[in-house]
Structure 1
Amino acid sequence: MELTARGPGVGPDPGPCSRSGPDTVPSVGLGLDVAALRRRACGALLGLAVGDALGAPAENMRPSEIRRRWGRIEGFVSDNPAGTDDTEYAIFSGLLLARHGSALTVTHVENAWHHWLADLDEGPFRGAGFSERGTLENLRRGLAAPITAQHRHAWSDGLAMRAAPFGVFAAGRPAEAARLVAVDGTVSHEGEGIYGGQAVAAGVAAAMTGAGPASVVAAALSVIPMDSWTARSLRRAVVAAGREYPDTLTMERAVRSAVVIGGYPWTDLAPEAVGLAFGAFAAARGDFRTSVLTAVNMGRDADTTAAVAGALAGAVSGAAAIPEEWASAIGPVRGSCLPSMRGYHVLDIADLLTPDDDAPATR
């Protein structure tokens, strides 16, 4: 089973996003400017990878622990920054979406999980989330979707972390982005786990049109049940982020207090992680650097919250908004979690999910 005609390891330096995609790229409609779409696609997916790499060292840490170790994180705190499962799973889902587009089915997703993940010698599978581990165990037991998603972490942020490519593909169409990411997520998630992915995909889809933070938040809320935990958490975080505070630390504490359940051990809870990510994005008014650093310094599942905040802010403003020293640190993924993804660059996925510069932006 081949996900794409392009092999790994062909990504450029992660600065300009100037390559043309393959002939199978689905075109994107609504009269959107193709060049702007490509810039925002690069911003969304490079932003995801940057946020992932910046947040990884702070994953599962409390803000007080972060401050004791590094002070306030303002950039990379490791000598060799790299993405985690967030980036590698986003690449995996992006490749699958590029192959099937709007015709994507649960069967396509399940087959890809088998072919590229479950049926391979996975190696150490470092950094994989509990939801992905539970899904793989169910697949190896011979279960089929949606039963494969019946495990103890179906509510995790594992779908939210890989949802941005669906918003890139369905630029300007939040409902379609939400539909497609739910198809992908049926193999691994249920309930709030699905809602978290849908909120992120829809938010990125709106951001791909250049929408402001308020419109991005509205798009995210429009595709999930208003009485869901995810919707309540997202609203609370954004409301808290919109208030006036004497300093950044006080603001971050307020956003955390709005959504984090004190003492709860699992930081991969989708309603919490998605709420924190949108709260960081809203507090920063969409500014890329501030969005990502706010998410990182709030801790908890910091690689995922910063990846989502980075995808949203990157989609709004494009890759040019990402500091060069951060963008240049992102290379092809190492396959530390998914060996089959080794050598792909997130900009490969941006190319695959957007039309060529000379292609008509119509469906």
Structure 2
Amino acid sequence: MAFVLCLLGGLLHDDDTLAPPPAPTYLIAAVSSAMLLARHRAPVATTMATTLCGMLVAPLGLLPSPLVVAPALISAYSLAVRSELRVVVAVLVPSAALLVAVTPFFETDFSWEDTSRLVTVAASPLVAAVFGRSAQHRRAYLTVVQERARRAEETRDSEARRKVAEERVRIARELHDLVAHQITLANAQAAVAAHLFDTRPEQTRASLEELVKTTRHALDDLRATVGLLRQPDDPSAPTDPAPGLSQVPALLSAFRRAGLEVWMHEDGTARPLPPAVDLTAYRIIQEALTNVTKHAPTSSAEVRVAWNRDYVTVAVTDDGRGSPAPERPPGHGLIGMHERATAVGGTLTAGARHQGGFLVSAHLPLPTAENTADNTARRTDGTPAEARDTL
């Protein structure tokens, strides 16, 4: 292409006539075009060499034009694409000057029209360099965009893996809490039935009926929790709401039927809770009472819910003595309660009391006043705030 452009430019002579280019023009066009093959590896040397070839236009009697110096323009473009700005300026400014410096020496009648032509020829490499710099900036921009897209994709993948891991931990925690609770109740009810089997058949029947209800609830809870692993559009996926403080009375009734005397006290004015905090409060009460049933040598416990301006405190205490049986392996109940409380921005403390027994206390954050209405509307269990006052 550069060779053809050079020959087209060579058709116009300095006397403004069209004629076949002289024989040396073919040689200059071939040599300068062949030099372009090295413009990627040595752009500076290629630019200087094509400029020297372009300087031979005037001695051959050809009219200087951008076409006849096309190889010099192409090399200037390549130089601007692949070199720093200071190198481009240092090479192209002298090259542009050399392209036109020799013309006045070979023309006896130099006019303003010739001056305009020379200015055009001198400006052509600089214009080509401007396009080259623009192309370089665009390539750099596209590279940055591609790198950002790659990093964003990696971040999305990492975030997706993190969320999957968090969801697995959450489901594992749910399974632990509900299975430990239901199995503990079932074990207590079975023990009561076995104890009363010979002496009180009617009470044995009642205990067995409670055992059937407990195991049914356990299966329902397992089905609901495992259903979280299904696709959202699965028609068989469960739609039951997550439990919250409004279900605590039913939870306490189940423990009472299993033989644990438990009371509940509520201080302050109940307020709507976000679903995650509501579920956390319920699970902490459930797990704490389950630990009382399994480990504490006592038959009574107390649940207290205290509402403050910025947080709600959930505490479960018992008056048992001693510690868990040494043959029991350590469980994950307290760890799970700590993780639940921390996940919603709360804190949990657990330990023996000075006056005897064990205390589990959790401080969970309440929504701000301006978000209270939104939390009420977003509740998944549909329980109004008035229902909390019955606890």
- Taking CA–CA contacts closer than 8 Å with sequence separation of 6 or more, which of the two structures ends up with the larger relative contact order? 1
TM bin (shorter chain): under 0.3
- Structure number having the greater strand percentage: 2
TM-score normalised by length of structure 2: 0.22
- Structure number having the greater helix percentage: 2
Q: Which has the larger radius of gyration?
A: 2
TM-score normalised by length of structure 1: 0.23
